[in-house]
Amino acid sequence: MTRTAAVSAVAGVALLAAAGAAHAELSTGWLPNNASRVVTIHGCSIVQSGSTNYVLASENTNCAGDVGLTAKYVSGGVTYVTATKWALRDVRIDRTNITQVMIHHK
């Protein structure tokens, strides 16, 4: 199943719930990069940090499910969106000129 950043949290919940996922995928929406923050999705605390050239998210607690990241970055004056990258606990995306990040959990 392909996941895109354009899918809203509500639509993503309906789509993945229909597919029989243990947890429906939820996301934060786009957040500015270059900040450290803690977000809670599905009751799981996720620490996110980043700089101009990377974003990182880690589950802060022992939770069931996977953590994911999607990043917007600028190259040659054009804004691009990465594919969502998933991992069991820690996920990182390395790109130049990352401007925004979306944190996911499923």
Average pLDDT over residues 7-28: 53
CA distance 92 to 57: 7
Model confidence band, residue 6 (pLDDT cutoffs 50, 70, 90) = very low
Note the pLDDT of residue 60.
86
- Print the SS3 string covering 58-87: EECCCCCCCEEEEEEEEECCEEEECCCEEE
Place of tokens 């509500």: 10
| Extents of the domains making up the chain | 27-105
Please give the mean pLDDT across all residues of the chain.
83
Q: Record the pTM.
A: 0.76
The predicted-structure confidence for 46-94, as pLDDT tens digits, reads as follows 999 999 999 999 998 788 899 999 999 999 999 999 999 999 999 999 9
Note the pLDDT of residue 100.
97
**Burial per residue of 6-32, b for 16 or more beta-carbon CB atoms within 10 angstroms, e otherwise:** ebeeeebbeebeeeeeebbbbbbebee
